[in-house]
A = this chain, B = another copy of it.
Amino acid sequence: MNPLRANGERLWQSLMNLAAIGATPKGGVRRITLTELDRQGRDRFAAWAKEAGMSVRVDAIGNMFARRAGADDSLPPVMTGSHLDTQPSGGKFDGAYGVMAGLEVVRRLNDLGMRTRAPIEVAAWTNEEGSRFVPTMMGSGVYAGVYEAEKMLLQKDVDGVSVGEALKAIGYQGEAKPIKVGAYFEAHIEQGPVLENTGTTIGAVQGALGQRWFDVVILGQDSHAGPTPMELRKDALLAASKLVVEVNRVARTYPDNARATVGHLRVSPNSRNVVPGRVDMTLDVRNAKDETLLAMVEDLKKCAAAIAAECKVGVEVREVLYFAPSHFDPRLIDSVRESAKALGLTCREIVSGAAHDAVYMARIAPTAMVFVPCEGGLSHNELENARPDEIAAGCSVLLNAMLAAAGVAQESSGQARAA
């Protein structure tokens, strides 16, 4: 069978149309979860899904599922999706792309008059970003049984509004129960620079890195920069700096997509002519393999202890998050790779450095993701951008991979137009 191609222009227009809801002056989107703007985004998605002949149901945590019936509608659906909420200063593509690409898959099947054996569903997960309510990936987490809906409904934002209250206020608390999912796909911008840097259009995502996050406190002693000789100092910033250098060295030493980052660092008293007595910093360590992740952490703890002794400071390292590495389904990953090949697209294996709704879905269903490049690897930023041809290419890969998973029930006369 010749591969199908998505209608890239229609997909792009839907993305831009959706991006108008919460558009920011700099070209980004601010559509925070469970706000009035989120309601508008959800309403538009529901309207488009219904126009495409789909039924829409909503569950207790506000996840939306648009369904296109299969020839055998009793089969578990082949699902795709992502999220419609954005970061406070977010872009047009993070999340929205995965939902709109799912919609385009259905629209294209409609164009062609194609029926799939299994039903197709497009999900819009609630609160993936976690910027208003923690934790992140709340909706898919509830669906996958990681979190209990009842508890999540009680989570509050900084103004004391609960998830349950916010859901009711926008009219998106439903009663649909979770169903078994046959396969789950998610299209997403890479949010990193690898595809762009290697001139690759499609990333066949193998899984997501495991993560361990730490808070680090370094306690030295404030002293005057002038009168205090170097050998009598207990400089917390010197110790912190040595640790930052080690964090980067360790990440470059280990295999399995090792990454380690100090993103946040605060100096006290932070005055030009005072040797710093205290530094608070974070440490984010990631690896594709659990055992390598642990080895990195052990190595870094030894570095921290050695630096503490050398700089005569105290160092406390406290773990605040652990997120196991996840592995996607080999058969579905193959299907993504084969779809890209059939479409004549460059494709490479890639590991997702960030977590996505697909990471939770992988716990309950065979799962794969399709990455496309984003400009400069930039995301969570109003300047987030992607090329229309690559956005379309990712959707075409999604279309063919989903079709392979769902099976084709009957081919229409429209098939000829697909090539």
Contacts and interface: CB of A to CB of B under 8 A. Distances in A.
Interface in A200-239: 209, 211, 213, 221-232, 235, 237-238
A192 B228 contact: yes
A263 B272 contact: yes
Nearest to A193: B232
Contacts of A276: 262-263
A378 B232 CA distance: 13
A248 interface: yes
Contacts of A273: 261, 263, 284
Contacts of A381: 222
A275 interface: yes
A275 B261 contact: yes
Nearest to A228: B192
A416 interface: no
Given A227-B354, A284-B225, A274 B265 contact: no
Contacts of A237: 244, 262-263, 265
23 contacts: A191-B227, A192-B224, A192-B226, A192-B229, A193-B232, A194-B229, A225-B263, A228-B259, A230-B248, A230-B251, A235-B261, A237-B262, A238-B244, A238-B245, A238-B248, A241-B241, A261-B273, A263-B270, A263-B272, A264-B267, A264-B270, A264-B271, A265-B265
Given A193-B223, A266-B270, 16 more contacts: A192-B228, A193-B229, A194-B229, A209-B226, A221-B376, A224-B354, A226-B259, A232-B377, A237-B244, A237-B262, A238-B245, A263-B270, A264-B267, A264-B272, A272-B284, A273-B284
